[in-house]
Amino acid sequence: MLMWYGHRDAMTPPKLDLLQGTLDLMVLNTLAAMGSLHGYGIARRIEQVSGDQVLLNQGTIYASLVRLEQRGWIASSWGVSGNNRKAKFYSITRSGRSQLAADARHWERLTGVMDRVLGMSKDPDEEGNLA
């Protein structure tokens, strides 16, 4: 991933590096919310929703799309975009929706646990309980 950002603005905190699985989850969710989108649209949407906090080389989305499509969670077909441009559109499938729900639940649990564990060291009142 090219770190071109680092030269621009030293004040904003560095963007988060995305892991393979999390990008897949974002793509899935975007399609679930937005319906049928082409690759560029998905990438732009993710950038907008994450408030530009994610380090995303837009090109990496195509690997993600191929993974999701092979697993049968999204389906693709060639179509025409708003500007009369030929593009490949992706939409979520039913198994994709159930996978999305499962993954989302998993994330919530994970983040909840992490919050609690990380919250441990901040609270001085808690220490008494451990003794």
Name the one residue in this structure whose structure tokens are 């969670």: 73
Q: Which residues does 88 contact at the CB level (< 8 Å), separation at least 6? A: 38, 39, 76, 77, 78, 79
| 88 binds other proteins, rule: CB under 8 A | yes
Stretch that binds other proteins, among 11-19, 29-37, 60-68, 106-114 (CB under 8 A): 60-68
Q: Minimum Å distance from CB 60 to other proteins?
A: 6
CB within 8 A of 89, min separation 6: which ones? 36, 37, 38, 76, 77, 78, 79
Indicate whether 13 belongs to the interface with other proteins (CB under 8 A).
no
Establish if 63 lies at the interface with other proteins (CB under 8 A).
yes
Tell me whether residue 51 or residue 128 sits nearer to other proteins (CB atom): 51
Among residues 53, 50, 59, 51, the alpha carbon closest in space to that of 25 is found at: 50
Does 3 interact with other proteins (rule: CB under 8 A)? no
> Nearest Cα to 54, choosing from 2, 11, 6, 17?
17
| Between 71 and 112, CB nearer to other proteins | 71
Whether 53 and 15 have beta carbons less than 8 Å apart is answered as: yes
Q: Map tokens 């975009």 to a residue.
A: 81
Of 35 and 72, nearer to other proteins (C-beta) is: 72
Residue selected from 87, 91, 97, 103 as contacting other proteins according to rule CB under 8 A: 87
**Interface residues with other proteins (CB under 8 A)?**
1-2, 4, 38-41, 43-44, 57-60, 62-64, 66-67, 69-73, 81, 83, 85-88, 95, 99
